[in-house]
Structure 1
């Protein structure tokens, strides 16, 4: 686990990393407006978070000029940073009913979705199986002074049972089937969103009601597979 200070991500810190041209706040605002027009983004709080956070900070320098396009981009280790439209859809589904105090993220990746969660939730627990990605994400979020994030290197299938239950769970990797371990770590009444399957993949939202799950199909997506074990 890495450091935790309790301070959520703040706009005044993010503004220090605003770029120019294709990485400018104006370009980021244009992306947000397009996502709203296309129906991907209805939540005001999620829109504010996405408009605040410099996505270009989480993108490989070779792809910075594409940071505010609605596309996935490679981040190394055969992983990607998700489409902004997908990040918007998943984030607002989690927050549709009530604020989230404690969220578990499976697949830290670039740290961009983690940053969104930091701005929207009280505490973020994020798991990544590739140590180098976890370290890079931690460094970037430390730059942004986001201190309400707990970083772990572990197999995402197993979640963090010692820290359960969680108000919400979000996954940026697709298992073949819904992991029972993650379901057991979701609080009664809690919400979970994740892709499931190989090809095709479908994005599902779940709400736990005691021993049963209410399931909602949110659409077709393309995510990296949820692999087992910790990468060496």
Structure 2
């Protein structure tokens, strides 16, 4: 089996694992998330529409009033659950002046990034997602724009977890769904993504296409986005 066939086999295995993880995640989080979002930020008329369709309530005889308790819960508990940005203190071991100076620089850097990268806003979004979905995520990574390392909010919708693990600490792998323009993917992975084709169309792509074509059809729209998964595995890539 040559290298190309081996790579295809590895991709096939991980595709199957990610699909299994997606099914389990949808069962655990997505259904409840969709239902709660209907109350949190949607039109509540569906409550009366469903009651009328069931035959036990007619809309014209009801005062269609709703109290958004979901929104109230998130707005009340969200600020309480948020912790102030941490103040990091680094103390060097020993009396080496060089190490002492380095610790001061590192301390200044670590206390600079939370404000520069908006940790307060990112953490609040993660808390909201935790209250809505049952899971809130902050993803620590390198920021391409600023060159800093920080934590940003990542929706549970974009996360895939090892379906065989009962607890997070027991997971052998996790995956993160990413959506990037084709040119960004080619720049990130120059050796393997050259000539890659998109599998999703951005709103900008649709708008540009509408300007060039009088009639908008699926065939006339170019797919300029790539949906892919970053896999972080404790057991290696080749499983």
Q: Same fold (TM over 0.5)?
A: no
Q: Which has the higher contact order (CA 8 A, sep 6+)?
A: 1
Higher strand share: 1
The interval holding the TM-score normalised by the smaller chain is: under 0.3
Which structure is larger by alpha-carbon Rg, 1 or 2? 2
Q: TM-score when scaled to structure 2?
A: 0.22
Higher helix share: 2
